[in-house]
Structure 1
Amino acid sequence: MKTSTLFLTFALALLIGCSPKKVDTKKYCDEIMQADRDFSAYSILHGKNAAFVKFAAEDVTFLSENTYPLVGLKLLEERQAKRSDSTYVLTWEPIYARAAESGELGYTYGIWELKIKADSTKNSKGTYVTFWQRQSTG
C-alpha cells in the first residue's frame, strides 16, 4: 500500500509539473494597445501617410478595398507618397488586443474616424484590425 501511494503521489506530481503553464499575456496586450494609440497620435501630428510608413515593418502587408495586397515597406512608401493626406485627419482607437504567449505577435481592432477638414458632413467611421509583430527595436 505504501508503494502504491508513493507511486501515485509521484505520478501526480509529475503530471502537474509537466502541464503547460498559463502565460499571462496582459502585459503584451497592453503594449500592443499602446503601440496602436501611439500610431494614431503620430497620424494626428504628422499625417496618415507618415504614420503608416513609420509604424510599418519591412515586410508589411497592406490591405485595402478594391486593390491587391501591397507587400513591403518600399511599395507602401511609394503608394503613400502619391496620395495627399493634407485634406483630412485619420485617427483610430483600439478597443481590444490579443497577443501570443511569446509576445511576438498580436492584433488589435477598434474604430477609425476620418475627419474631412473642409466639410465635416463628409466625415466617416469604421472598424479596423491591425496585426502586430514585435521588432528587434521593441
Structure 2
Amino acid sequence: MSFVSFAAGLLALANMQNADTAIEAAMQTDRDFAAHAAEHGIAAAFHYYAAEDARLIQANSDDVVGREAILQSRANASGLLHWEPRGGYAGEAGDFAVTYGDWSYYPDGDRNADPVATGDYTSVWRLTPEGWRYVLDTGTVNTPPTASSEE
C-alpha cells in the first residue's frame, strides 16, 4: 500500500467520522431547538436557531427569508409546537446536515391532550461560528383519516 493510498484512506475515515459527528450534533441541536420552543415560544426559537439567510418553505405561502423576517412571521404564534428528529444526514466535511422527524401542535400547550395537527418536517443545517443554525425548514401536514378509511 502506498503512502498516498494510506493517507487517502485516513482522510476518508476522518471525513466519515466528521459526518457521523455532524449528524449527531445536528440532531441534538434540533432537539435543543424544540426544547427552546417549549420554554421560550415558537417565535423566539425559530429566530434564535435561524441562520441570517434562513428560509422557511410553507404551503400556500411565499417563502419567508431571513432571520428577522422569520421572527416577524412567527410573532403571533402561540401554543406548543413540539418536534423530534427521527434521523439525519451530513456532508462529508461535517459542516452541513439535514434532520427530519415528526411534529405535533398543541394550541393550549398541553402535550397530554391530543394534538390538533401533526406532520413531518425537514430542516437543513449549516455549522456556523455560533453553532448549528438552520438554513431551510419545511414540513408537511398529515391529513386526518376519512370516514371511509376508518371502516
Q: Which range, TM-score by smaller chain?
A: 0.7 to 0.9
On the 8 A contact 2:106/2:114 being kept in 1, the answer is no
1:135 corresponds to 2:139 = no
- Runs of at least 5 residues in structure 1 that lack an aligned partner in the other structure: 1-11
Shift of 1:14: 5.8
Q: Between the two proteins, what is the percent identity of the paired residues?
A: 29
1:105 corresponds to 2:96 = yes
SS at match of 1:68: coil
On the 8 A contact 2:42/2:77 being kept in 1, the answer is no
Residue of structure 1 in register with 2:60 after alignment:
66
Which piece of structure 1 moves more, 124-133 or 13-22? Answer: 13-22
Counterparts of 1:7-46 in structure 2, within 5 Å, are 13=2, 16-17=5-6, 19=8, 21-22=12-13, 23=15, 24=17, 25-46=19-40
What is the TM-score normalised by the length of structure 2? Answer: 0.73
- Runs (4 or more) in structure 1 with deviation over 4 Å come to 118-122
Structure with higher Rg: it is 1
On the 8 A contact 2:47/2:68 being kept in 1, the answer is no
Structure 1 residues 65 and 84, CA, compared in 2 at 3 Å: closer, same or farther? same
Residue of structure 2 in register with 1:114 after alignment:
105
Shift of 1:118: 8.1
Number of residues of Structure 1 aligned to a counterpart in Structure 2:
124
Structure 1 residues 122 and 29, CA, compared in 2 at 3 Å: closer, same or farther? closer
